Amino acid sequence: MALSLFQRPGRSRVPHPAIPLPMIRIIHEAVVQAWELIRTDPPPGFNLTVAPEDEVTLVLHNTLVNRVQYTKSVPGFTPELFRVSREPKVYSFDARSLDKMPDLFFHLISDRTVAFPDLDGLYAECKPIDADHGVGVHYRDRGLWRFVTGDYAWSMREGMMIGYAVSGYRLPSGLSGALVAGNRPTRMPLISGPIPTPRASATTYSQLPHVTTHSRNFLYQGTGKAAPEITIHHLWLIRK
Protein backbone atom coordinates (compact mmCIF):
# COMPACT_ATOMS: atom_id res chain seq x y z
CA MET A 1 0.00 0.00 0.00
CA ALA A 2 1.27 3.49 -0.86
CA LEU A 3 2.11 5.82 1.98
CA SER A 4 -0.59 8.42 2.67
CA LEU A 5 0.81 11.74 3.87
CA PHE A 6 -1.08 14.37 5.79
CA GLN A 7 -2.43 17.54 4.31
CA ARG A 8 -2.47 20.71 6.38
CA PRO A 9 -5.79 20.69 8.30
CA GLY A 10 -8.53 22.91 6.97
CA ARG A 11 -6.83 23.57 3.66
CA SER A 12 -8.06 23.01 0.12
CA ARG A 13 -7.20 19.80 -1.66
CA VAL A 14 -4.79 19.38 -4.53
CA PRO A 15 -4.10 20.76 -6.99
CA HIS A 16 -2.99 24.03 -5.46
CA PRO A 17 -4.19 27.30 -6.99
CA ALA A 18 -2.21 28.43 -10.01
CA ILE A 19 0.91 30.48 -9.37
CA PRO A 20 0.16 34.03 -10.57
CA LEU A 21 1.86 34.74 -13.88
CA PRO A 22 3.63 37.87 -12.50
CA MET A 23 5.42 35.61 -9.98
CA ILE A 24 6.53 33.28 -12.77
CA ARG A 25 7.78 36.28 -14.73
CA ILE A 26 9.85 37.29 -11.69
CA ILE A 27 11.44 33.82 -11.64
CA HIS A 28 12.08 34.05 -15.41
CA GLU A 29 13.82 37.39 -14.97
CA ALA A 30 15.92 36.13 -12.05
CA VAL A 31 17.09 33.05 -13.96
CA VAL A 32 17.99 35.12 -17.02
CA GLN A 33 19.89 37.65 -14.91
CA ALA A 34 21.79 34.84 -13.18
CA TRP A 35 22.63 33.38 -16.59
CA GLU A 36 23.90 36.74 -17.81
CA LEU A 37 26.23 36.89 -14.81
CA ILE A 38 27.44 33.36 -15.54
CA ARG A 39 28.11 34.29 -19.16
CA THR A 40 29.80 37.64 -18.48
CA ASP A 41 31.39 37.17 -15.03
CA PRO A 42 31.66 33.43 -14.27
CA PRO A 43 33.09 32.00 -11.06
CA PRO A 44 36.86 31.45 -11.16
CA GLY A 45 37.72 28.18 -12.89
CA PHE A 46 34.24 27.66 -14.35
CA ASN A 47 34.02 27.06 -18.11
CA LEU A 48 30.39 27.07 -19.28
CA THR A 49 31.32 25.69 -22.70
CA VAL A 50 32.57 22.36 -21.36
CA ALA A 51 30.98 22.11 -17.90
CA PRO A 52 28.73 19.05 -17.32
CA GLU A 53 25.04 19.44 -16.56
CA ASP A 54 25.27 19.11 -12.78
CA GLU A 55 28.05 21.68 -12.53
CA VAL A 56 26.14 24.17 -14.67
CA THR A 57 23.03 23.77 -12.50
CA LEU A 58 25.07 24.13 -9.31
CA VAL A 59 26.56 27.39 -10.57
CA LEU A 60 23.12 28.59 -11.71
CA HIS A 61 21.68 27.93 -8.25
CA ASN A 62 24.63 29.56 -6.51
CA THR A 63 24.35 32.63 -8.73
CA LEU A 64 20.56 32.86 -8.34
CA VAL A 65 20.77 32.87 -4.56
CA ASN A 66 24.02 34.67 -3.78
CA ARG A 67 24.30 37.16 -6.64
CA VAL A 68 20.69 37.83 -7.62
CA GLN A 69 18.30 37.08 -4.77
CA TYR A 70 20.34 38.40 -1.86
CA THR A 71 21.36 41.53 -3.75
CA LYS A 72 17.68 42.11 -4.58
CA SER A 73 18.64 43.02 -8.14
CA VAL A 74 15.35 41.65 -9.54
CA PRO A 75 12.32 43.35 -7.98
CA GLY A 76 10.21 40.79 -6.16
CA PHE A 77 12.84 38.03 -6.20
CA THR A 78 13.64 38.21 -2.51
CA PRO A 79 14.19 35.72 0.34
CA GLU A 80 10.93 36.96 1.83
CA LEU A 81 8.98 35.59 -1.16
CA PHE A 82 11.06 32.66 -2.50
CA ARG A 83 13.34 29.98 -1.12
CA VAL A 84 15.42 28.42 -3.88
CA SER A 85 16.66 24.85 -3.44
CA ARG A 86 18.83 22.66 -5.67
CA GLU A 87 17.85 19.00 -5.94
CA PRO A 88 15.57 18.86 -2.90
CA LYS A 89 14.17 15.41 -2.13
CA VAL A 90 10.44 15.33 -2.85
CA TYR A 91 7.99 12.47 -3.17
CA SER A 92 5.91 11.33 -6.10
CA PHE A 93 2.12 11.75 -6.22
CA ASP A 94 1.57 8.35 -4.57
CA ALA A 95 4.64 8.51 -2.27
CA ARG A 96 5.95 5.25 -3.72
CA SER A 97 9.13 7.14 -4.49
CA LEU A 98 10.43 9.36 -1.70
CA ASP A 99 13.60 10.74 -3.28
CA LYS A 100 12.67 12.49 -6.50
CA MET A 101 15.04 15.43 -7.02
CA PRO A 102 14.02 18.27 -9.34
CA ASP A 103 16.99 20.40 -10.29
CA LEU A 104 15.56 23.60 -8.81
CA PHE A 105 12.58 24.34 -6.59
CA PHE A 106 11.31 27.88 -6.08
CA HIS A 107 9.34 27.45 -2.86
CA LEU A 108 6.69 30.13 -2.34
CA ILE A 109 6.89 31.88 1.02
CA SER A 110 3.28 32.97 1.37
CA ASP A 111 0.00 32.54 3.18
CA ARG A 112 -1.64 30.71 0.28
CA THR A 113 -4.32 28.34 1.56
CA VAL A 114 -2.91 25.14 0.08
CA ALA A 115 -3.06 21.48 1.03
CA PHE A 116 0.71 20.93 1.13
CA PRO A 117 2.62 24.13 1.98
CA ASP A 118 5.91 22.19 1.85
CA LEU A 119 5.25 21.38 -1.83
CA ASP A 120 3.95 24.79 -2.90
CA GLY A 121 6.16 26.36 -5.52
CA LEU A 122 7.60 26.19 -9.01
CA TYR A 123 9.51 23.01 -9.84
CA ALA A 124 12.17 23.35 -12.55
CA GLU A 125 14.10 20.68 -14.41
CA CYS A 126 17.27 21.78 -16.22
CA LYS A 127 18.67 20.03 -19.30
CA PRO A 128 21.51 20.72 -21.74
CA ILE A 129 20.39 20.92 -25.36
CA ASP A 130 23.07 20.04 -27.89
CA ALA A 131 24.18 17.29 -30.26
CA ASP A 132 24.72 14.87 -27.37
CA HIS A 133 21.54 15.81 -25.50
CA GLY A 134 18.62 15.85 -27.92
CA VAL A 135 15.36 17.65 -27.30
CA GLY A 136 13.46 14.37 -27.73
CA VAL A 137 15.07 11.67 -25.64
CA HIS A 138 16.87 13.92 -23.16
CA TYR A 139 14.78 17.08 -22.66
CA ARG A 140 11.36 15.54 -23.33
CA ASP A 141 11.62 11.97 -22.03
CA ARG A 142 14.05 12.55 -19.13
CA GLY A 143 12.73 15.94 -18.09
CA LEU A 144 9.29 17.02 -19.22
CA TRP A 145 7.89 13.50 -18.82
CA ARG A 146 8.43 13.67 -15.05
CA PHE A 147 5.81 16.40 -14.77
CA VAL A 148 3.25 14.35 -16.71
CA THR A 149 3.64 11.23 -14.57
CA GLY A 150 3.43 12.96 -11.19
CA ASP A 151 7.06 12.60 -10.19
CA TYR A 152 7.38 16.39 -10.04
CA ALA A 153 4.87 19.16 -9.30
CA TRP A 154 1.91 16.80 -8.78
CA SER A 155 0.42 19.27 -6.28
CA MET A 156 0.79 22.16 -8.71
CA ARG A 157 -0.76 23.36 -11.97
CA GLU A 158 2.51 24.42 -13.60
CA GLY A 159 6.20 23.59 -13.86
CA MET A 160 9.30 24.82 -15.66
CA MET A 161 11.85 23.36 -18.03
CA ILE A 162 15.14 25.23 -18.34
CA GLY A 163 17.29 24.41 -21.35
CA TYR A 164 21.01 25.13 -21.71
CA ALA A 165 20.84 25.49 -25.49
CA VAL A 166 23.80 25.75 -27.82
CA SER A 167 23.66 27.51 -31.18
CA GLY A 168 21.26 25.93 -33.66
CA TYR A 169 18.64 24.78 -31.16
CA ARG A 170 15.72 27.17 -31.12
CA LEU A 171 12.32 27.58 -29.54
CA PRO A 172 9.66 26.86 -30.62
CA SER A 173 10.74 24.78 -33.63
CA GLY A 174 13.05 22.38 -31.78
CA LEU A 175 10.51 21.77 -29.04
CA SER A 176 7.59 21.42 -31.46
CA GLY A 177 9.35 18.69 -33.42
CA ALA A 178 10.17 16.72 -30.27
CA LEU A 179 6.64 16.99 -28.90
CA VAL A 180 5.00 15.89 -32.14
CA ALA A 181 7.34 12.89 -32.32
CA GLY A 182 6.54 11.98 -28.73
CA ASN A 183 2.82 12.77 -28.76
CA ARG A 184 1.54 9.27 -28.06
CA PRO A 185 -1.09 8.35 -25.46
CA THR A 186 1.46 6.52 -23.31
CA ARG A 187 4.24 9.07 -23.78
CA MET A 188 3.77 12.80 -24.12
CA PRO A 189 0.14 13.98 -24.25
CA LEU A 190 0.16 17.49 -25.71
CA ILE A 191 -2.93 19.67 -25.36
CA SER A 192 -1.60 22.97 -26.67
CA GLY A 193 1.53 24.90 -27.56
CA PRO A 194 4.25 25.77 -27.68
CA ILE A 195 3.08 29.37 -27.67
CA PRO A 196 5.00 32.47 -26.49
CA THR A 197 4.76 33.26 -22.80
CA PRO A 198 2.57 36.36 -22.32
CA ARG A 199 4.52 39.60 -21.84
CA ALA A 200 7.87 37.83 -22.14
CA SER A 201 10.73 38.62 -24.48
CA ALA A 202 14.03 37.26 -25.70
CA THR A 203 17.31 38.72 -24.43
CA THR A 204 20.95 38.56 -25.45
CA TYR A 205 21.31 35.50 -23.22
CA SER A 206 17.91 33.79 -23.49
CA GLN A 207 15.38 32.84 -26.13
CA LEU A 208 11.73 33.90 -26.08
CA PRO A 209 10.04 31.74 -23.40
CA HIS A 210 7.17 29.50 -24.49
CA VAL A 211 4.48 27.47 -22.73
CA THR A 212 2.94 24.09 -23.42
CA THR A 213 -0.02 22.35 -21.78
CA HIS A 214 -0.17 18.60 -21.15
CA SER A 215 -2.68 16.18 -19.69
CA ARG A 216 -1.47 14.07 -16.78
CA ASN A 217 -1.93 10.36 -16.32
CA PHE A 218 -2.43 9.79 -12.58
CA LEU A 219 -5.14 9.96 -9.92
CA TYR A 220 -4.81 11.89 -6.68
CA GLN A 221 -4.46 9.73 -3.59
CA GLY A 222 -7.36 10.05 -1.18
CA THR A 223 -9.85 11.51 -3.66
CA GLY A 224 -9.33 9.27 -6.69
CA LYS A 225 -9.76 12.31 -8.94
CA ALA A 226 -7.71 12.68 -12.11
CA ALA A 227 -4.96 15.27 -11.99
CA PRO A 228 -5.79 18.25 -14.23
CA GLU A 229 -3.63 19.43 -17.09
CA ILE A 230 -0.30 21.05 -16.32
CA THR A 231 1.24 24.12 -17.94
CA ILE A 232 4.99 23.95 -18.54
CA HIS A 233 7.05 27.10 -18.96
CA HIS A 234 10.03 26.54 -21.26
CA LEU A 235 12.99 28.87 -20.75
CA TRP A 236 15.94 28.18 -23.07
CA LEU A 237 19.15 29.92 -22.07
CA ILE A 238 21.81 30.58 -24.70
CA ARG A 239 24.87 28.59 -23.77
CA LYS A 240 27.15 29.67 -26.62
Tens-place pLDDT, residues 79-88: 999 999 999 9
The answer to whether residue 205 is domain-embedded is: yes
Residue predicted with more confidence, 111 or 228: 228
Residue 6's contacts (CB-CB under 8 Å, 6 or more residues apart) are none
Residue-level length of the chain: 240
Structure confidence by residue, pLDDT tens digits, 135-188: 998 999 999 999 999 999 999 999 999 999 999 999 999 999 898 876 655 567
The answer to whether residue 13 is domain-embedded is: no
Q: How far is CA 240 from CA 37, 43, 163, 204, 206, in A?
A: 14, 17, 12, 11, 11
Domain count, the chain: 1
The answer to whether residue 3 is domain-embedded is: no
Structure confidence by residue, pLDDT tens digits, 189-222: 899 999 999 999 999 999 999 999 999 989 998 7
Read off the pLDDT of each residue in 52-81 and give the average, rounded to a whole number: 97
Distance CA 96, CA 88 (A): 17
pLDDT at position 71 over 80: yes
pLDDT at position 1 over 50: no
The answer to whether residue 11 is domain-embedded is: no
Distance CA 23, CA 225 (A): 28
The answer to whether residue 115 is domain-embedded is: yes
The answer to whether residue 164 is domain-embedded is: yes
pLDDT at position 39 over 90: yes
The answer to whether residue 5 is domain-embedded is: no
Average pLDDT over the chain, rounded to an integer: 92
pLDDT at position 114 over 50: yes
| Enclosing domain of residue 176 | 21-238
pLDDT at position 51 over 60: yes
The answer to whether residue 202 is domain-embedded is: yes
